[in-house]
Chain A
């Protein structure tokens, strides 16, 4: 049952935690570790009790590895997302709804804060404080169903992000996603915002889906990016030069490089140095900078040092089972419950969607628009299905995965369409067992029997 027990950071780690570095933010401010500790142990449990629910089925449950101190800072970034964005927005920084899995360099360079649908959903849920897990979930479901009522009962759960924007639950100033083929949500998004009357401007950034062997594709996206940045700059009032964009590219490249180094450390360690929850939460900071690339890159650097220390001392992350089965996760938006998977004897080693963008660096010299365009065309997740599967198979090999789970959300017509083909190709190329699971829990707080049963059975099989 939810709320049976709330998770608390133990006092005995306080002194060590507050002796560590704080975090720097892009607006030039800093927060000390003592302030982070105060927030995470006093303020946040009061304001966001659902986030501290220790129920094993709590999908968003924080890591139990309290001695991995960067993990606490990562949770801090999650729980301060609402405050940070509202503050920035009030100060004139535009917020922009973007597509998942795409580079954010252009948006941040133009002076905006890009927010993906998943983060919009979390943000919307956090706008009412003091809710327990079930109350929070009920709030999320109410937003979701209001979206379905407007568009279609068959819409993917991502529709709740658009409902939250439409209903002004969260302030979004521009709707400007790339229209790449990765998510049914995009089709619903286009319909939501094209056919409804509201005052939020929109700019659908076109993306040549069938871009293989099309020399014009990069230049096509370059033109789109210029238009996008011009539109955002008009909102932010920022003067955009090539050097401004390169500064952002360099910062985000640094994040991507560190995330790759962390993955190499983790993959090659004798014992997984941090658990699945921490691994994904930290590494994927380079895929979604949680509203602040400066703070995210700062935390990535701190995390890497901690992980290096653990690898050197052969420390295994708390919660990682002995002889853990190594699972590679495929698909967008939804994934298995990490706590549950670890209890069942597995650990997560990677995820194709999030890793796609992290794996491609942007060139740091020349034409920044064209460079970003070229990198976007290289994202493995956006390639034709066979090519995407081959890249994923290589990731499976590199991460020494012993099994692959492709999970997709009910209503996602793109991922459901490719799940079997990708699973079969990976199995054929690597010899590793694969499975695919359709779930209905995107945006839900608690994992369902349908998904946990399949994941557990697969782990038993592996």
Chain B
């Protein structure tokens, strides 16, 4: 294989989506985002192939690939695997060097990450209990209201009141929601309550790691405007506007690390 120093890829296989970013000379060249299937190897390859296709490249053109996300353990196409915590830190730092605090909400967990000026993780806390702010939790709630997942946040913003939610389990929260609907509560008010309850639990994660500006919100749930607003309110911060789809940050960080690892391993000077 002839090594091309220009192209590095990161592949982030999450529980709901697989993402890929290709860097060329340190710049984002192409991206790919596909739903995760039951085969995580296939999901990662689909995301990578989509990015390669967009870029007009072949896999052989890539110098180094880093896999991340829960699917990193089944990524035979990758040269190295790194956890998504490190990758979100690197990806965020690459785009927004002033950020020191990251909230990452993906399909199956939520993380509070503190980073330094170089994008190195200095502390983190995770909570993957189901009602602590995961994409899967919101997906269940979208199912209850029979609306699209991506519309949940916008609906919540139309709330005239916020219904407090106390459940700490997706199943219990779902039944609590159904009973609120049965009592005649407005969907937007219930959804506002759901978003605020999640935001409060995320605030709990930060009680240990602390918050330092600037603050960034990554992961698939970061595209939910209602969630972003609720978090800003709960943490009393302003979240930095993402320059790219925030769901791609982990893959971007993996690509940044691919570039760095390949240099360390002497694949290019």
Contacts and interface: CB of A to CB of B under 8 A. Distances in A.
B85 A461 contact: yes
A420 B124 CA distance: 13
A453 interface: yes
Contact of A460 (B70, B85, B128): B85
A460 B123 contact: no
Given A420-B208, A450-B128, A457 B70 contact: no
Contacts of B85: 457, 460-461
A452 to B, nearest CB: 8
A458 B128 CA distance: 16
Contact of B70 (A433, A435, A453, A458): A453
B32 to A, nearest CB: 23
A456 B73 CA distance: 12
Interface in A409-460: 420, 424, 433, 435, 449-450, 453-454, 456-458, 460
Nearest to A453: B83
A457 B124 contact: yes
A230 to B, nearest CB: 47
Nearest to A433: B123
B178 interface: no
B121 A457 contact: yes
B128 A457 contact: no
Contacts of A458: 124
Nearest to B86: A460
A456 B208 contact: no
Contacts of A454: 126
A460 B83 contact: yes
B82 to A, nearest CB: 7
A456 to B, nearest CB: 5
Contact of A461 (B70, B122, B128, B208): B122
B160 to A, nearest CB: 38
A417 to B, nearest CB: 15
Contact of B121 (A449, A450, A460): A460
A440 to B, nearest CB: 11
Interface in B115-148: 120-126, 128
Contact of B83 (A435, A450, A456): A456
A424 to B, nearest CB: 8
Contacts of A457: 83-86, 121, 124, 126
Contacts of A461: 85-86, 120-124
Interface string B90-126: 0000000000000000000000000000001111111
Interface string A1-34: 0000000000000000000000000000000000
B82 A460 contact: yes
Contacts of A450: 128
Question: A424, A433, A450, A454: which has the most chain B beta carbons within 10 Å?
Answer: A454
Interface string B223-234: 000000000000
Question: A435, A456, A457, A460: which has the most chain B beta carbons within 10 Å?
Answer: A457
A177 B124 CA distance: 38
Contacts of A456: 83
A420 to B, nearest CB: 7
B70 A449 contact: yes
Contacts of A435: 124-125
A457 B128 CA distance: 15
Nearest to A420: B208
A107 to B, nearest CB: 39
Interface string A319-342: 000000000000000000000000
Interface string B47-83: 0000000000000000000000010010000000011
Nearest to A56: B73
A420 B209 CA distance: 12
Nearest to B120: A461
A424 B123 CA distance: 12
A450 to B, nearest CB: 6
Contacts of B124: 435, 457-458, 461
Contacts of B126: 454, 457
Contacts of B121: 457, 460-461
Interface string A254-275: 0000000000000000000000
Interface in B152-198: none
Nearest to B73: A449
A96 to B, nearest CB: 37
A353 B30 CA distance: 50
A460 B253 CA distance: 14
Nearest to A344: B83
Contacts of B208: 420, 424
A167 B82 CA distance: 45
Given A433-B122, A460-B82, 5 more contacts: A435-B125, A453-B83, A460-B121, A461-B123, A461-B124
26 contacts: A420-B208, A424-B208, A433-B122, A433-B123, A435-B124, A435-B125, A449-B70, A449-B73, A450-B128, A453-B70, A453-B84, A454-B126, A457-B83, A457-B85, A457-B86, A457-B121, A457-B124, A460-B82, A460-B85, A460-B86, A460-B121, A461-B120, A461-B121, A461-B122, A461-B123, A461-B124
Interface of A: 420, 424, 433, 435, 449-450, 453-454, 456-458, 460-461
Which 9 A-B residue pairings sit nearest by Cβ, starting from the closest?
A: A457-B85, A457-B83, A461-B121, A460-B86, A456-B83, A449-B70, A460-B83, A453-B83, A454-B126
